[in-house]
Chain A
Amino acid sequence: MADLIWASMTELARMIATKEVSPVEVVRAHLGRIAALDDRLRAYITVCDESALEAARAAETALASAVPAGALHGVPIALKDLFETAGVRTTAGSKILGEAVPSADATVVTRLRAAGAIVLGKLNMHEFAYGPEGLNDHYGHARNPWGGVEARIPGGSSSGSGVAVAAGLAPGALGSDTGGSIRIPAALCGITGLKPTYGRVSRAGVLPLSWSMDHAGPMARTAADCALMLGAMAGYDPADATTSVLPVPSYVAALNGDVKGLRIGLLRSFFLESSAPEVRAAVEAAVKLLADQGAVVDEVSLPHLADVPAATMAIIGSEALAYHAAWVRERSADYQRDVVERLRAGAFITGVQYVRAQQLRVLVRRGVDEALTRRDVLLAPTAPITAPRLGEREVSIGGVATDARSALIRFTRPFNFSGHPACSVPCGFVSGLPVGMQFVGRPFDEATVLRAADAFQRLSDWHTRRPVVD
């Protein structure tokens, strides 16, 4: 049973396709673990046990008479609870949408089901995806499985996705990322998470936080599994006008394990130099490992990053309030406090400020593009810290007290702002807590980002460590 729980999605797909294991066995194993552990971990808001078993039986029957339907035939996944699911409530972690039942699946859910994936359930999240801690007053706070006896936050907003994958309650999950909401929980929970290029993956049927900053992407235990999921999800969608018509390459085929000659730009200024010393040491050790294998590493800095926090506040604040305005006027008591306060702040952003922020965005994108003209990827810590304790508002970075929320999103939001793809992978542990680093690539070059992440995972074993939660 443990083999099925900790097997990668790639391994599960192979074992199912060769009939080494039945999809029913795989789904039952995961449902059993959810039943045993989720009262404590609170990764799930809704468990779809009956429909998952029904889909598993159908997958088993289909396999008996035909070839696998797709690359994920019979493989279970779970969805952050802002991806709409036909007939299954989609709450966005809120009381306001607590009983909202969509009539259709989000495009990415449709595509994953078409590839054979089986939905185990809907995952916990920061309410309406508006917070990097992953807190939820309505459904309970998801708990970082690496915290031991201490309650540590999993990071958010895709908190349930991070916890479920890290604790073996799902081999892979969907997350969304507006300021770091895939990569932060990936880093804090010790898993792998990819924010694709803006426009690579459809957001049709994904409840928005901020239209011009939202990205949907995969979270799994390996970069190879993220590649497998992305291949099933990516591509033009007429229902999402921001999606690109560029063809989708085979991300799995790009994973050749080779870093020799890979040009890596290490982001020391703003990123590495502002990290906790232990985080910096873990990332520097990872860089040395890559360089020892032939990667060509130099240091590079990006312009205008000091102004990104204010600009993202102007953009996300305005766009989020535009979506929530009626509820903020009529149902403000139904929000959790931190979320409604962030929404209210959006009322004071002027049109000029919003446009200035969108103008800055062009400058920042040019800066990242320029850094990538002579490099294949950029590399930086995903977050400057490891998982804070639940309720910890301030953290120490090199002896300096820092607001925990600001620290969590500092290194991830520049790439929501610019739209470049970024993948967080585990690169060490500090006092039993995972450290993450992110590879950032050229627009629509997820293949190189995933190749670098996968190659690092072939050289290291941080992604194979498992928390003790039984």
Chain B
Amino acid sequence: MLAAMDIDLVGLRAAAHVAGFAFTDAELEALRPGLERAFEQLARLEQLPVAAIDPAIQYRML
């Protein structure tokens, strides 16, 4: 996972490339503030007691 400190244009460009997308620098700049907030929040998920929980990938109520 990208940590908040890693959110610069070079890192975003590389991550997008690895994911198979070629976003322009302007497009990446537009995303950066929101991604910084999102990564901070997503990092909190690592602190949750979920390691032994089966993920709801195929989610069924019954």
Give A357 to B48 CA distance when docked, in angstroms: 10
Q: Interface SS of chain A: helix, strand, loop or mixed? A: helix
Interface residues of B in 7-44 (CB under 8 A from A): 12, 15-16, 19-23, 27, 30-31, 34-35, 38-39, 41-42, 44
Any chain A CB within 8 A of the CB of B5? no
- B57 smallest CB distance to A (angstroms): 6
Give A336 to B61 CA distance when docked, in angstroms: 34
Q: How many residues of A contact B (CB 8 A)?
A: 39
Residues A358 and B56 in contact, CB atoms below 8 Å apart: yes
Give A309 to B42 CA distance when docked, in angstroms: 9
Give A419 to B62 CA distance when docked, in angstroms: 11
For A253, list chain B residues within 8 Å (CB).
none
Contacts known (A307-B48, A348-B19, A362-B54); A244 close to B60, Cβ less than 8 A: yes
Q: How many residues of B contact A (CB 8 A)?
A: 35
Contacts known (A313-B38, A350-B1, A353-B42); A359 close to B50, Cβ less than 8 A: yes
For A329, list chain B residues within 8 Å (CB).
20-22
Q: Select which of A199, A309, A344, A356 is within 8 A of B50 by beta carbon.
A: A356
Encode B43-58 as 1/0 by CB contact (under 8 A) with A.
Answer: 0111011110111110
Knowing that A307-B45, A344-B27, A348-B31 are A-B contacts, what are 20 other residue pairs whose CB atoms are under 8 Å apart, sorted by A's residue number?
A199-B60, A212-B56, A242-B60, A313-B41, A314-B42, A344-B21, A345-B38, A348-B12, A350-B1, A352-B1, A356-B48, A360-B45, A360-B48, A361-B59, A362-B53, A362-B54, A363-B48, A365-B56, A419-B61, A443-B62
Contacts known (A313-B38, A345-B31, A352-B1); A198 close to B59, Cβ less than 8 A: yes
Residues A347 and B19 in contact, CB atoms below 8 Å apart: yes
**Closest B residue, CB atoms, query A357:** B45
Residues B55 and A359 in contact, CB atoms below 8 Å apart: yes
Give A246 to B60 CA distance when docked, in angstroms: 12
For A199, list chain B residues within 8 Å (CB).
60-62
Contacts known (A310-B41, A347-B16, A359-B55); A444 close to B48, Cβ less than 8 A: no
Any chain B CB within 8 A of the CB of A304? yes
Q: Select which of A198, A304, A350 is within 8 A of B61 by beta carbon.
A: A198
Residues B48 and A443 in contact, CB atoms below 8 Å apart: no
Give A360 to B45 CA distance when docked, in angstroms: 8
Residues B19 and A310 in contact, CB atoms below 8 Å apart: no
Any chain B CB within 8 A of the CB of A10? no
Residues A362 and B61 in contact, CB atoms below 8 Å apart: no
Contacts known (A350-B1, A362-B56); A197 close to B23, Cβ less than 8 A: no
Any chain B CB within 8 A of the CB of A21? no
Residues B61 and A443 in contact, CB atoms below 8 Å apart: yes
- A422 smallest CB distance to B (angstroms): 13
- B17 smallest CB distance to A (angstroms): 10
Q: Select which of B16, B31, B62 is within 8 A of A246 by beta carbon.
A: B62
Give A350 to B23 CA distance when docked, in angstroms: 17
Residues A341 and B31 in contact, CB atoms below 8 Å apart: yes
Give A347 to B19 CA distance when docked, in angstroms: 6
Give A341 to B35 CA distance when docked, in angstroms: 11
Any chain B CB within 8 A of the CB of A383? no
Residues B34 and A345 in contact, CB atoms below 8 Å apart: yes
Any chain B CB within 8 A of the CB of A325? yes
For B12, list chain A residues within 8 Å (CB).
348
Residues B53 and A347 in contact, CB atoms below 8 Å apart: no
For A197, list chain B residues within 8 Å (CB).
61
Interface residues of A in 387-444 (CB under 8 A from B): 419, 443-444
Residues A347 and B15 in contact, CB atoms below 8 Å apart: yes
Any chain B CB within 8 A of the CB of A328? yes
Q: Can you pick out 12 interface pairs between chain A and chain B where the beta carbons lie within 8 Å of each other?
A: A199-B61, A199-B62, A244-B61, A313-B42, A314-B45, A347-B15, A353-B45, A358-B57, A359-B53, A359-B55, A359-B56, A362-B54
- A132 smallest CB distance to B (angstroms): 15
Contacts known (A344-B21, A345-B38); A244 close to B62, Cβ less than 8 A: yes
Any chain A CB within 8 A of the CB of B4? no
Interface residues of A in 299-358 (CB under 8 A from B): 304, 307, 309-311, 313-314, 325, 328-329, 341, 344-345, 347-350, 352-353, 355-358
